Amino acid sequence: MRTYLAKRRQEIALRLQLEFARQAAGKAPGYLTIDGESVSYDLGLAALNSGSAFLIGGLLVGLVTPSDDF
């Protein structure tokens, strides 16, 4: 049980740190990918609409190619 509580505290601390980092970085003009790269809003929206990408926790995950841009 102690291990679970320690892991839970670490998870809460990590979420807090990530939220502070996101707020400090400001609003990106598009979407951020899971590897930290920025994708334009139009390109990300096209990928979301085509079903080749989806959002997980505010991060764009999936295949984003220039051909997805309508």
pLDDT digits (tens, 9 = 90+) for 10-62: 999 889 888 888 777 666 578 888 888 888 888 998 999 999 999 998 899 99
Find out whether 60 and 33 touch, Cβ atoms under 8 Å.
Answer: yes
Phi, psi (deg, nearest 5) at residue 62: 140, -165
Residue with tokens 């085509």: 50
- The confidence score (pLDDT) of residue 66 equals 74
**pTM score above 0.75:** no
Rounded Cα–Cα distance for residues 43 and 45 (Å): 5
Rounded Cα–Cα distance for residues 14 and 45 (Å): 28
